[in-house]
A and B are shown apart, each in its own frame.
Chain A
Amino acid sequence: MPASPNQEAVANVDLMWEGIRKAIWLLFTADREVIGISLLSLRVSLTATAISLLIGIPLGTTIALTRFPARRIVISLINAGMGLPPVVVGLFISILLFRSGPLGFLDLLYTPTAIVIAQVVIAAPIVTGLTLAAVQQIPAKFRLQMLALGASRLQMLWLLLRQARMPMLAAVMAGFGGVISEIGASMMVGGNIRGQTRVLTTATVMETGKGNFDIAIALSILLLAITFGVNYLLTLIQQRARTP
């Protein structure tokens, strides 16, 4: 006799509680594999975010402050890039890195470096687009005033980014948030290889598929904790100047 929907729901709730209980145990005992996966996730996504900042901040600022032909088209492309589906990025990076592909000689496919590359492609447009918006919202009058106070080019750049600190940190958060949570690209270019390229998101999908809800929940809790922790730190920096 099939179980009634009610009984099924009760079973699911039991399963969830059981999962959470086991997950806490896993975290508490500092399961080596789970810790390893978490550290790799953090390392890969932080690296990708950092590289995206190195690309996105100068690029966004330059586009915000200069006028050139096709500027609008470039900005539209960047804005569209902010919404790149990770799966599509994963596919293209995979094609590039396949042994027979144009960058196959680098032998990077299924390495953490490959995941970093894919995540940079995802995060760089986000950082660029938000930097562009952040710098653009500073009125031209402010730039004129800084110029009139004797700011050199570099000093001007520093003053603009300093003035745009709030939205700039939002750009960092958005960039990091975009890559720590993505799965399509990590799965495709990383391959979810145990002990090598398995990150929190890919591991969660796999464990859920295998029915290991306890491990999946433990991984999810860690993913949430990392996301919250990094954003909390960034928020502290962002809000520091605003508290009187």
Chain B
Amino acid sequence: MNDCILEGRNVQVLYEGRLALAVAEIGVHRGETLAVIGPNGAGKSTLLRILGLLERPASGQILLDSQLVAKDADLLALRRRFASVFQDPLLIEGTVERNVGLGLQLRRMAQSAASERIRLWMQRFGIEGLASRQASSLSGGEAQRVSLARAFAIEPDILLLDEPFAALDPLTREMLLRDLHRILRESGVTCVFVTHDRDEAQRLGDRVAVVMDGRLQQVGTPEEVFGRPISESVARFVGVDNLLAGQVTADHEGLLAVDVGSFSVRASGRIPVGSPVIVCLRPEDLVLQSGVETDARDGALNHLPGRVTGLFLTGSQYRVEVDCGHPLVALVTKHCVQALWLAPLSEVLVDFKPSAAHLIVKQES
């Protein structure tokens, strides 16, 4: 027995004869939010439609509560256990109230019970003041709140969200993301959340599934997926900007030495000496030190001397490019940039812990 409310097995989807999606196994645990991430066109939305019984796969099975969804099953009844929100709010003509109650109306819920539900969910999404407004007069953010309230009002067993924030401006998105996070936790609803945004996935997902090129690449907690990606392509997608190809040259009780050509990296792990590996370093795990101080060094740390080649402000942090014989990217605070007088050509030390270096064993292709 497992605690999966929804599972897909050996799912294959063909578009015009081309294999668009092939997933051997995916399960959604009861009460969790599973974030499905991947680049555009990777097959995430297709996977969501398959799991939501909105599209039939060319082959494979879908299980709801460990029960196989039969080919001749009453799809309408099963579909009504789900509710979905897409990138576009796709509201019907009419008032906000009418829209929020649409799912209930389709399920023929009694008027009195429905209006109570509608009121409750409009309140939770902060749109009770818009109840009698025409849907066509709403802003993008308001409309998406209506769309979310409409899905939650159904109080489905499984909620499917497909890029619900992709069309919103950053401020609106941030506010709605916070509200959704709170409501998801409070309601305990099972949710599959598709996004191309790593931030959103990390914040909302109890687990994260990475889909690339129509394949499920990795599933795990956000810490696992973002910290220990299983392949080079997953590493790149989850934001590991530093990927160094090398070879394990020594093993001192779990502290490995990896030769990456121009320097050697200390990394923790259990990989046989001689294995070709890729060293993954997240830019936020790299610490920059002044290149002048040379004393008081921790022998267990990695210290790589280098020279700053570029400095860019991204959001609230600086991306600093350092050439250590191999170009590395570090993400540091404005404070750090000012304290170290960082500028192009500054000499710095790039420090990181052995545990920050994640190793991927290179597959022979």
Contacts and interface: CB of A to CB of B under 8 A. Distances in A.
Interface of A: 141-142, 144-145, 147-152, 155, 159, 162-163, 165, 241-242, 244
Contact of B83 (A141, A148, A242): A148
Given A244-B134, A244-B137, A147 B54 contact: yes
Nearest to B88: A141
B90 interface: yes
B118 to A, nearest CB: 14
A52 to B, nearest CB: 24
Contacts, number: 54
Contact of A148 (B54, B88, B134): B54
A145 B93 contact: no
Contacts of A165: 93
Contacts of A155: 106
B76 interface: yes
Contacts of B102: 149
Contacts of B330: none
B147 to A, nearest CB: 8
B92 A159 contact: yes
B93 A148 contact: no
- Chain B binding site: helix, strand, loop or mixed by DSSP? mixed
A152 B92 contact: no
Contacts of B94: 241
Nearest to B49: A144
Nearest to B156: A150
Nearest to B103: A149
Interface of B: 49, 52, 54, 76, 79-80, 82-84, 86, 88, 90, 92-94, 102-103, 106-107, 134, 136-137, 150-151, 154, 160
B106 A162 contact: no
Contact of B54 (A142, A144, A162): A144
A148 B79 contact: yes
Contacts of A163: 92-93
B93 A241 contact: yes
A33 B355 CA distance: 100
A162 B92 contact: yes
B86 A150 contact: no
A79 B52 CA distance: 38
Contacts of A141: 86, 88, 90
A95 B3 CA distance: 73
A144 B84 CA distance: 10
A148 B92 contact: no
Listed residue (A151, A163, A244) with the most chain B CB atoms within 10 angstroms of its CB: A151
Contact of B106 (A142, A144, A149, A244): A149
Given A142-B90, A162-B92, A163-B93, A148 B160 contact: yes
